[in-house]
Amino acid sequence: MDRLRLALLLAGVLILVAIYWWDRFRSSRRREGDATRRGGPSHPEPDAEAAAQELADLEALIAGDRAGAPGEGPAYAAHAGVGTPAAGVAEDPPDPVPAPAPAPPTRSPPPGAEPHRAPRGARSPQAEAPTKLVVIQIAAPAGGRFQGADLARVFRSEGLEFGAMRIYHRNVPEAGDAPLFSVANLVEPGYFEPESMEAFTTPGLVLLQQLPGPRPGPEAFREMLATAQRLADRLGGELRDECRNPLTRQRMEALRAEVTEHERLRRLSGARA
């Protein structure tokens, strides 16, 4: 390792010397040209920025040889000349980029011809139904936590089934058991462990409903809200909105209006498809 470090240092010194003399050579040529044009010598300063950058790269390479084997990494490749032209050797000029072919001219339909229409049943991206996520939280009393045994009991009484993503769902059998809404743990990681519910506690629950779903939005929201109210009553919790503010009657009406508007837009987009 010491030999490699010494060799890299010597190589770096040789590179710095080569840069210095190359800069002197360019400066002398530039001074001769300036003297010829202006009748007087010029005194440009040597390009110290390139030398400083080269020295910094060399120091980084020496410091990094402790982390990996020699001959690996971009710094080694740069010093070894891999992928870079040798000093004083010009690169071959790149191949010319062919000009793009001109676009074919567009033709206007002849007079009286019907405009092109998409096949019946095909949907444009604009016609896709919008999506909406409705969130209702149930918080435990201040300083309290819901007990896992109580959660398992009320989940069973409400017909909530443990399933995908390790959370509970209200499934719709006539829609292939698609979830109408889901109930998750309020805190990370968000799921439940049915086999250890006796020792499980949580400060709250969150009910999630993705619209559109297996039933019309207003009907689905009405059922989720009623379930959330019953869970809160049985657990002694408090209903809150997605921002964890108390779910007041005014906020309930606002959510109901949002769901109704979403259903209207969904039906409108379906009619336009």
* Digit-coded pLDDT (tens) for 159-185: 999 999 999 999 999 999 999 999 999
DSSP the chain: -HHHHHHHHHHHHHHHHHHHHHHHHHHHHHHHHHHHHHSS---PPP-HHHHHHHHHHHHHHHHHTTTS-TT-SHHHHHHHTTTSPPTT-PPPPPPPPPPPPPPPPP-PPPTTPPPP-PPTT---GGGSPP-EEEEEEEEPSTT--EEHHHHHHHHHHTT-EE-GGGSEEEEEGGGTSEEEEEEEESSTT----GGGGGG-EESEEEEEEEES-SS-HHHHHHHHHHHHHHHHHHHT-EEE-TTS-B--HHHHHHHHHHHHHHHHHHHHHHHH-
Q: What pLDDT is recorded for position 143?
A: 84
pLDDT > 90: percent of the chain: 49
Q: Where are the domain boundaries for CATH 3.30.1400.10 in the chain?
A: 128-272
Phi and psi for 170 in degrees, rounded to 5?
-100, 105
pTM over 0.85: no
* Structure confidence at residue 209 (pLDDT): 98
| Stronger pLDDT, 84 or 225, i.e. the higher one | 225
- Mean per-residue pLDDT for 37-62? 51
Q: How far is CA 266 from the centre of its chain?
A: 27
Structure confidence by residue, pLDDT tens digits, 57-88: 655 544 454 444 444 433 333 333 334 333 44
Residue whose tokens read 């096949």: 119
Mention the CATH class of domain 128-272: alpha beta
The whole-number pLDDT of residue 73 equals 39
**Alpha carbons 228 and 7: distance in angstroms, whole number:** 73
Distance in angstroms (rounded) separating the CA atoms of residues 66 and 167: 48
- CA torsion sign, 11 to 16 to 20 to 23? positive
Cis peptide before 212 (omega within 30 of 0): yes
